[in-house]
């Protein structure tokens, strides 16, 4: 293939865009971070979208990547390089425009990419050489966290609509032995709580001898807050002394 790697990646992005039939308002820019494994991905996607012309894919190899363990390494042209061209990470806005199936597939693309980068990083540490393109790791990580947040938003919205529950995992406000009130998240147990000896040892109430300590803690908190406010006030007074308003000159 005479095309440069950058041109290939751009071509892959365009292929991906065509396969995935996104709404016209969203543009997949060429700076998108599509891994080279997008070849196999776009080919797999092409088997689903019937409107795609098979002649478009004659430039790329149409067999799915069957070499499993080869996917743990960079394509051989990146071996020994110091820099590798890679696009920008996925933003949350772009990910929210994708369908569930696309996000699911993208998760695995990113997962495989991250595995490859971790392998390269460990090997570079072993050989005491610089890893080609270390910034890719952060990009993939950020893309994955954003993808997860997009999916969580959708799940939360669905749950709220169907059941009215805000949180997926039930919980309640409880007070621990030290007097702190916190959100206790429930766990699954095979036996009821009154038969669970370890759970019973964990007291969710405050004994009365702890109350003086709670009071002292509260006083300390109030004192520190007041001290901070006084310090701020003193600073402002000093500033007012140095730069009084009466002598302010307007341009």
Task: Return the structure tokens found at 115.
Answer: 């595995």
Angstrom CA distances, 59 to 1, 43, 55, stand at 8, 12, 9
Residue with tokens 């109350």: 211
Report residue 126: phi and psi, to 5°.
-65, -45
Options 4-12, 152-160, 199-207, 224-232: segment touching another protein (CB under 8 A): 152-160
Distance of CA 170 to the CA centre of its chain: 24
Angstrom CA distances, 198 to 111, 191, 203, 204, stand at 39, 12, 10, 13
Instruction: For another protein, give the closer residue by CB, 76 or 244.
Output: 76
Q: How many chain residues are in contact with another protein, going by CB under 8 A?
A: 48
Instruction: For another protein, give the closer residue by CB, 10 or 15.
Output: 15
1, 3, 61, 79: residue in contact with another protein (rule CB under 8 A):
79
* Element containing residue 171 per DSSP (H, E): strand 171-175
Distance in Å, CB of 132 to another protein, minimum: 9
62, 85, 138, 155: residue in contact with another protein (rule CB under 8 A):
155
Instruction: For another protein, give the closer residue by CB, 35 or 120.
Output: 120
Residue closest to 12 by CA, chosen among 38, 46, 45:
38
Residues forming contacts to another protein in the complex (CB under 8 A) are: 44, 47, 66, 68-69, 71-74, 79-81, 100-101, 103-104, 107-108, 111-112, 114-115, 118-124, 126-127, 129, 148, 151-152, 155, 158-159, 162-163, 168-170, 186-190
């Amino acid at each position: 293939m005479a095309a440069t790697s950058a041109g290939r990646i751009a071509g892959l992005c365009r292929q991906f865009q065509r396969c995935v039939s996104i709404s016209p308002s969203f543009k997949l820019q060429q700076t998108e971070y599509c891994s080279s494994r997008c070849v196999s991905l776009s080919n797999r996607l092409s088997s689903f979208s019937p409107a795609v012309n098979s002649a478009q894919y004659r430039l790329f190899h149409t067999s799915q990547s069957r070499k499993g363990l080869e996917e743990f390494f960079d394509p051989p042209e990146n071996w020994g390089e110091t820099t590798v061209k890679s696009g920008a990470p996925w933003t949350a806005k772009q990910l929210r425009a994708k369908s569930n199936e696309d996000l699911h597939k993208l998760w695995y693309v990113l997962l495989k990419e991250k595995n490859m980068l971790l392998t390269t990083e460990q090997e570079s540490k072993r050989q005491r050489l610089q890893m080609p393109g270390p910034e890719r790791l952060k990009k993939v990580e950020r893309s994955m966290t954003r993808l997860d947040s997009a999916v969580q938003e959708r799940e939360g919205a669905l749950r709220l609509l169907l059941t009215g529950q805000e949180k997926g995992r039930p919980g309640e406000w409880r007070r621990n032995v030290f007097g702190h009130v916190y959100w206790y998240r429930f766990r699954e147990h095979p036996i009821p709580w009154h038969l669970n000896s370890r759970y019973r040892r964990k007291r969710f109430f405050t004994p009365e001898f702890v109350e003086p300590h709670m009071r002292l803690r509260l006083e300390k908190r109030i004192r520190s807050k007041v001290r901070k406010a006084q310090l701020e006030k003193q600073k402002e007074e000093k500033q007012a002394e140095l730069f009084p308003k009466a002598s302010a000159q307007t341009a």
